[in-house]
A and B are shown apart, each in its own frame.
Chain A
Amino acid sequence: MQEIVTALANGSIYALMALAIGIIYSTTQIINFAHGSVIMIGAMTSYWLLSIFHMNYFTAILLAVLINIILSMVIYKVSVEKLGDLTQNSSWIVTLFGAGIILDNTARILFGTEPKAYPFLFDGHVISIFGTKIMIHEMMMILVAVIIGVLYQIVIQKTNFGRAVRAVSFRPDTARIMGIRSNRIVLMCFAISGAVAAISGALIAPITFASYTMTYSVGIKAFAAALIGGLGNTKGAFIGGISLGLIEGIASMIVPGGLKDAISFLIMIIVIIVLPGGILSAKLFTKGELKTEKI
């Protein structure tokens, strides 16, 4: 029970991170390599607001979300927009990696190298369910991830903005001819991704501790989760994240801790080889669907 809840909680964070990566990929076909650093900035900012200004948890996270939205928009403007047609060049790999390194170094200078103890939600209170002690924070990680995932699907399926995102994702040129300002839609996607990153950061920081290196090990797993679920497919990001969390949980029970990642990535490679478009590209899930339906 305890192992399952922990695996689901970790999987939820991978899912949130993969979702943020997928949001950007679906409209730009690029992978935001600075995403781990944006999560870290979100966590460090909220930690700073909590510990220095003694703000309450939710105000601190709200402000961190706003700062991350601005930061992500700046990253888009500086590192992506100027590059022109992203399908014709790969410069974004360098610019986004570069943006991540700049953020990491800036955080190291601003916040120092020592990891910081980030508070758990509800003061780390533990409840007993069927004799198993479970931290409320872990349950909140799962709940928040599900709420964000459902909200995102509602926005994508039911709002004009969502339709525009789907149009840009499906046929960017046609969308532009139809009067949709693709650049603005992509900018909004970067902003949403930044907001999700701030929340992911606040949820994971109590476990990893807040530091400028806090996402080094989980960042790569977010990319793995996105690939397992299907890159650009936001429902798949959730399936990928949760699957990865469960795989890790099971692997860590069977093999020595040092081999856990090797097992997880081996499974990722197998999934990519067998289903290049991720789990949700399997025929079982794709009957009669257009690409836009998969977002």
Chain B
Amino acid sequence: MKRKSAISVSSIILSLTLLFTGCSSSDDTAKEASSKPKEIVIGNIGAMTGSSATLGKAQSQGVDLAVKEINADGGILDAKVKVVSRDDGADPTKSKTFVEELVDKEKVDFMVGPTNSTPAAASMAYLQQNKIVSILPIATSTQLINPNNPYAFRLIASNAIQAEAIVKLAVEEKYKKIVLVADTSALGTDGMSVMKESMKKYGVTPAATVTYKADDADMTPVAEKIKDAKADVALFWTLGADGAKIVRSLERIDYINDLDIIGYTGLVMPNFKELAGPGADKVTVVSAGSWALEPGKTELAPKYWEIYQKLIAEYGEKDKRDTSASIIASGYDAVYLLKWAIEKAGTTDSEKVKQVLETDIQEFDSIYANHYEFSKKSHEGFPVSDLVKSKMDDMAYGELYKKAE
């Protein structure tokens, strides 16, 4: 009996020794792989079908083009870059499952996306647990970037940044009665909350706050409330079709000429002018300044114009694709940002790459925003100053904003 026990104890000790030896050896290999990786795998996830399909497609186009160029140029740290893409259809459940698959099965080193805020929120915890540095080129929900998501970095202007920009514009242009308009969805509630915070920051009280159910058939009550408040400017946190319906209703009640409208980027849609009618002339939106034409100019600044031409050469003019050039550029920048950070860190190690992004970002030559502003405190990259007021009804080449004069 004693002998049997002795054999069992020896076996357990031997097994544990082998296990720890094995672990330590594989740990060493992992470290070696991160400083001299054979292949770097980037996960790319977003809505490529469904109502948000243009976002996921644009992100993928940007990612694919950047990876193609990088691999043709020798890769990153001499390693080839591989992209594994998944279409979550903007469904949070699918998104979470795909993220788990990409991390566990495909062993992605970095992630770009998800494109939509709710799927991104659903997948974020798993990416953080696994210390996957994730770049968000499109999702705008304010809560995505917070101290609980230390490996997430955002390129696009978040809801809070956009809210601050539109409030700043309204205050600087000395409007007297500012009305805030948003729907009651999660996106609209977030928008209303960040607009109110920005109003507080600038010491201004809104003349009224108007909410409505997204996709409601009749927006006349919204228009009536704007009119009752005698607003001279309405800040729209609305999606394109709803915004257009409100503009139509303002026209119906004969108030559109007494009002200016400044909207966030969600208001933009290809046929807004057709839907909103003549009232569209009164609408401006905030957009990325680097991707908007100066008044009277036909080209962007040289660096951005060169990238724009590259995107056209790869994916065609606007009428040949349903994606937007500036969003493709954001996906493209996400991959180049990772390349720069990995090379600067000299490794794919998440901690070191994260540290580079937080401390040395001013060295990165960006092509989406004018520059990014990551720091240890904030992983929001887009600077408020790079958001400009652009015309809604008049786009160059079918996709480039013209700055409002």
Residues in chain A within 8 A of chain B (CB atoms):
2-3, 6, 10, 113-117, 124, 126, 133, 135, 204, 207-209, 211, 213-214, 216-218, 249, 252-253, 256-258, 260-261
Contacts and interface: CB of A to CB of B under 8 A. Distances in A.
Interface in B263-282: 269-271, 274-275, 277
10 contacts: A2-B220, A114-B271, A116-B274, A126-B252, A207-B217, A209-B241, A218-B217, A253-B224, A256-B211, A258-B213
Nearest to B224: A3
B221 A253 contact: yes
Interface string B244-259: 1100100011100000
Classify the interface of chain B: helix, strand, loop or mixed: mixed
Given A258-B184, A260-B213, A252 B270 contact: no
Most chain A CB neighbours (cut-off 10 Å) among B221, B244, B245, B269: B221
A258 B275 CA distance: 23
A2 B253 contact: yes
Nearest to A256: B211
Most chain A CB neighbours (cut-off 10 Å) among B184, B217, B224, B269: B217
B27 to A, nearest CB: 49
A2 B251 CA distance: 13
B262 interface: no
Given A257-B211, A257-B212, A258-B211, A6 B218 contact: yes
Contacts of A135: 252
Contact of A252 (B221, B241, B252, B253): B221
B210 interface: yes
A213 B222 CA distance: 21
**7 A-B pairs closest in CB distance:** A258-B184, A257-B212, A252-B221, A208-B217, A133-B254, A117-B274, A6-B220
Interface in B196-239: 210-213, 215-218, 220-222, 224-225
Nearest to B212: A257
Interface residues of B, number: 29
A126 B254 contact: yes
Contact of A257 (B184, B244, B269): B184
A213 B215 contact: yes
A215 to B, nearest CB: 8
Contacts of B385: none
A10 B217 CA distance: 9
Given A133-B253, A217-B213, A260-B213, A207 B218 contact: yes
Contacts of A252: 221
Contacts of A209: 241, 244-245, 275
A113 B253 CA distance: 29
Contacts of B220: 2-3, 6
Contacts of A204: 217
A148 B321 CA distance: 45
B129 interface: no
B25 interface: no
Contacts of A258: 183-184, 211-213
Contacts of B51: 113
Contacts of A253: 221, 224
A33 B266 CA distance: 32
Contacts of B244: 209
Interface string B144-186: 0000000000000000000000000000000000000001100
Given A2-B220, A258-B213, 10 more contacts: A115-B241, A117-B271, A117-B275, A117-B277, A133-B252, A209-B245, A217-B215, A253-B224, A257-B212, A257-B221
Nearest to B53: A113
A3 B223 CA distance: 11
Contacts of A214: 217
Contacts of B271: 114-117
Nearest to A133: B254
Contacts of A114: 269-271
Interface string B97-129: 000000000000000000000000000000000
Contacts of B217: 10, 204, 207-208, 214, 217-218
Nearest to B270: A114
A10 B184 CA distance: 21
Most chain B CB neighbours (cut-off 10 Å) among A126, A204, A209: A209
A90 B155 CA distance: 52
Nearest to A137: B252
A253 B241 CA distance: 23
Interface string B39-73: 00000000000010000000000000000000000
Contact of A260 (B183, B221, B241, B269): B221
Nearest to A251: B221
